[in-house]
Amino acid sequence: MAHWIQRILLTVSLIGFLNFIALPTSAENASLESSMSSLDNEQFELGITAGVINIQDFGSEIIAGINANFIASEDVFMQMTFLQADAELSSYEKSQGQLFANDDRTFKQLGFLVGYNLFQGEQFFSQPDAQLSSLYLVAGIGDTDFGGEESFTYILGVGYQVGLSRRVNLKFDYRNYIYDSSLLREDEATQNGQLSASLNWLF
């Protein structure tokens, strides 16, 4: 039963995310119609991600991924992420034998998150130009596929963003993916920390 509830929650989150970014409010429509010629609408963001993830019981691996963001307001944004990493043999497997192979050794994570900008300011890397920056928190849910298991996942994180130009920014993130796994022990709660950087384009 819990498995089905989690799948339903993931589906509802995806549908809500897509509806939220696709359906502007009536006030937004009115504003758009009244200022169509001059509106510079940069509410969407696409990015590529690279970094390191520590897969519990399997060590640290290089990750690569993509993310899509909808900037709902100055303080709030919604994010969808996908990343993957190839896991090497763990110390347990080196002594006891390989547990799984092929595609099952690829760690894949799909996440749906809501972010909140805690502090916003400016950085002066080169005078006199200032780059916008912000410190933010993210939280959400997702699905992790690893070792032949698909696990409902809770995601928590913090990040720092700095603008490189009007349409390009750089983000540094820490994320923790929390889910139950039975690869080594029955229903073990795993903590999987990720450090990454992403380059994002606004449009």
CA distance 203 to 43: 7
Residue 95 lies in a domain: yes
Higher pLDDT, 126 or 42: 42
- State how beta strands 149-163 and 168-181 pair: antiparallel
Number of domains in the chain: 1
Q: Are 196 and 63 in contact (CB under 8 A)?
A: yes
3-state secondary structure of 40: coil
> Side chain identity at 117, as an amino acid letter?
N
Q: Are 167 and 71 in contact (CB under 8 A)?
A: no
Q: Say what the pLDDT of residue 191 is.
A: 95
Residue 7 lies in a domain: no
In this model, does residue 135 exceed pLDDT 80?
yes
Residue 173 lies in a domain: yes
Q: Are 137 and 114 in contact (CB under 8 A)?
A: no
Torsion angles phi and psi, residue 169, rounded to 5: -140, 160
In this model, does residue 1 exceed pLDDT 70?
no
Residue 17 lies in a domain: no
CATH code at 156? 2.40.160.20
Residue 4 lies in a domain: no
Percent helix, strand and coil across the chain, each to the nearest 5: 20, 60, 20
Residue 170: band (very low, low, confident or very high) from pLDDT cuts 50, 70, 90 = very high
Residue 116 lies in a domain: yes
Residue 153: band (very low, low, confident or very high) from pLDDT cuts 50, 70, 90 = very high
In this model, does residue 144 exceed pLDDT 80?
yes
pLDDT digits (tens, 9 = 90+) for 72-117: 998 999 999 999 999 998 888 888 888 888 899 999 999 999 999 9
In this model, does residue 127 exceed pLDDT 90?
no
φ/ψ region of 104 (left if φ > 0, alpha if ψ in -120 to 50, else beta) reads alpha
| Structural domain containing residue 133 | 41-202
CA distance 128 to 144: 45
Residue 29 lies in a domain: no
Residue 124 lies in a domain: yes
pLDDT digits (tens, 9 = 90+) for 21-64: 455 544 444 443 443 333 345 689 999 999 999 999 899 999 99
Q: What is the mean pLDDT of residues 146-157?
A: 96
CA distance 65 to 88: 18
In this model, does residue 10 exceed pLDDT 80?
no
Q: Report the percentage of the chain scoring pLDDT > 90.
A: 56
Q: What is the mean pLDDT of residues 148-152?
A: 95
